[in-house]
Amino acid sequence: MKNVLGAICGASCLLLAVPAMAETTLTIATVNNGDMIRMQGLSSEFTAKNPDITVKWVTLEENVLRQRVTTDIATKGGQFDVLTIGTYEVPIWAKKGWLVPLANLGADYDVADLLPKIRDAVSVDGKLYAAPFYGESSMVMYRTDLFEKAGLKMPENPTWDFVIDAAKKLTDKSAGVYGICLRGKAGWGENMAFLSAMANSYGARWFDEKWEPQFNTPEWKKTLATYVDLMKQAGPPGASSNGFNENLALFNAGKCAMWIDATVAASFVTNPKDSRVADKVGFALAPNTGLGKNANWLWAWNLAIPAGSKKTEAAEKFIAWATSKDYTKLVASKEGWANVPPGTRTSLYQNPDYLKVAPFAKLTLASIDAADPNKPTVKPVPYVGVQYAAIPEFQGIGTQVGQQFSAALAGSTTVDAALSAAQSSTEREMKRAGYIK
C-alpha cells in the first residue's frame, strides 16, 4: 500500500514539475499598423533564437485596444505581457505604477542611440518605461509638379502665410484639385492632434500654468479662424469627416496640392504601388508664424510591460529584440530599407542605405527634432505633450473640443461659438477633476 501511495506521490510530483519546465508564452497586444504587422511576421526569428519563449498576438483597433488594455492594467488582470502604447499613455501610466521600468534591455541595446526627443517622451524621472518601436512627427507633403506649374517654390521651413497663400493659388475646384488637405474628423487623436500642433505655432496653449483652459484667448481664435477660413477656400468638400486615411486617399489620388500630416505618410505617398503621385512629392517642415514653434507633433508607438505581467524577464527580452538595431537590419534584409520602422534611432538617419531609399528621412528627423514634448508651446504650460496634454482627462476633453471644432469646419456653428463651447466644457471637466476651483 505504502509503495502504491509513494508511486502516486512520485507521479504527481513529476506531473507538477512539467509546467515549470514548459515554455514561457508571451501575450503581446498591438495595433494594426503596417510596422506592427511586419513585426508579427518576423517574430519567428525571435522565437527561433529563444526556443523557451512562444508569442501570442492580440491585434486590435486602436481605441478598442486602449479600452481593453486599460481595463486589464487597472484591474491588474495580467492578460498581457507586452503592450503597444502611445507616448500619451506612457507618462500617465508610469506615474500610476502600471508599467515596469525597462532596466535590463541588454548591454548592446544602446539606449543613447534613441532619438533624444522620443526618449524623453517615454521616460519619467530619467527612467525608461517603454521602448519606442516607431516614431513620427508631422510635416508638409506637397506636389512638386503643381508648385512648379504655379511658379511657387516651397521653402524648407515655410510660414503659415506662405502655405495659406499657396493653397489658395493652387486650388482648382473645377479640376478637382484642392490647395490643402487637413484633418477635420472629430477626435483627440484626429483633428485635435493637428489643431493643437497648429495652435502651438500660433502661440496658443491648452492650459496656462494654473491649468486654466485658454480657448478664450486671441491666439486660439486666430488659429481656428485661420483653419476654418483656409479649409473653406482651399480644402476639399466634406473635410469635417476627413481623418488620416481619407486625406491619404485624396492625396494619393492627386486631389491635394499640400497635406500636413504624420511623417509616416511619406512612405505611403511615395510608394508607386499605392500612389498616383509617387514621383511628384516634396517635403517641408510644418509651418510656423515666426514665434519659434512649428505646427508639428510628436508621437511614437512603444512597447511596454504592464505591472500585472508575471513574465517580465521574457517580455523585456522581446522588447529589446523588437526595438534593437539588429531588428532594423533584419527588416531591411527581408523587406528592404524602405520598410524599416522609422523615427526612433539616430543611427538609422546616418545609414546611407536608408537615406538612399527614403528621400523624406532628413525632413522626418528635422521634424522630430523640432517638436519638444517638455516645452511644446511659446508660453509656459504645466503639461507634457505637444498635441495633447498627458493627463488622464485629456482623451475626453480633447474629443469634446474636437467635436466643436469639427462642427465649426462643417459650418454648423461659428468659430466664436465653438471656442466658447470648448472653453466652458473644458472648464467644467477640469473643475470636476479638481485641477481648478
Name the residue nearer to another protein (CB basis): 134 or 227: 134
Distances in Å between the Cα of 72 and the Cα atoms of 69, 77, 94, 99, 133 are 5, 5, 15, 12, 22
Query: Hey, what's the cell of 347?
Result: 543611427
- Under 8 Å between Cβ of 392 and 90: no
Q: Is 24 in the site for another protein (CB under 8 A)?
A: no
Q: Is 40 in the site for another protein (CB under 8 A)?
A: yes
Q: Is 280 in the site for another protein (CB under 8 A)?
A: no
Binding residue for another protein, selected from 24, 47, 50, 78, defined by CB under 8 A: 78
Subset of 188-217 contacting another protein (CB under 8 A): 189
Among 101, 105, 59, CA closest to 84: 59
Binding residue for another protein, selected from 214, 223, 252, 404, defined by CB under 8 A: 252
* C-beta atoms surrounding 349 within 10 Å: 18
Among 280, 340, 339, CA closest to 141: 280
Distance from CA of residue 46 to its chain's centroid?
A: 25
User: Which single residue is written with the C-alpha cell 517615454?
Assistant: 122
Binding residue for another protein, selected from 7, 9, 11, 75, defined by CB under 8 A: 75
Name the residue nearer to another protein (CB basis): 214 or 275: 275
Q: Are strands 53-60 and 24-31 parallel, antiparallel or unpaired?
A: parallel
**Rounded to 5 degrees, what angle do the CA atoms 275, 279, 281 make?**
85
Closest approach, Cβ 181 to another protein, in A, equals: 13
Q: Is 68 in the site for another protein (CB under 8 A)?
A: yes
Closest approach, Cβ 399 to another protein, in A, equals: 15
Binding residue for another protein, selected from 6, 10, 34, 290, defined by CB under 8 A: 34
Which string of x and - marks every residue 89-118 that binds another protein (by CB under 8 A)? ------------------------------
Residue type, 92: I
Name the residue nearer to another protein (CB basis): 216 or 312: 312
Q: How far apart are CA 227 and CA 168, in angstroms?
A: 13
Name the residue nearer to another protein (CB basis): 150 or 278: 278
Name the residue nearer to another protein (CB basis): 17 or 253: 253
122 φ, ψ (degrees, to nearest 5): -110, 15
Q: Is 264 in the site for another protein (CB under 8 A)?
A: yes
Subset of 45-64 contacting another protein (CB under 8 A): 56-62, 64
Q: How far apart are CA 419 and CA 227, in angstroms?
A: 13
Distances in Å between the Cα of 121 and the Cα atoms of 25, 66, 361 are 29, 18, 20
- Under 8 Å between Cβ of 140 and 258: yes
Closest approach, Cβ 256 to another protein, in A, equals: 13
Q: How big is the site for another protein, counted in residues (CB under 8 A)?
A: 41
Binding residue for another protein, selected from 24, 27, 144, 216, defined by CB under 8 A: 27
Binding site for another protein (CB under 8 A): 27, 29, 31-34, 37, 40, 56-62, 64, 67-68, 71-72, 74-80, 189, 244-246, 248-250, 252-253, 262, 264-265, 268, 274
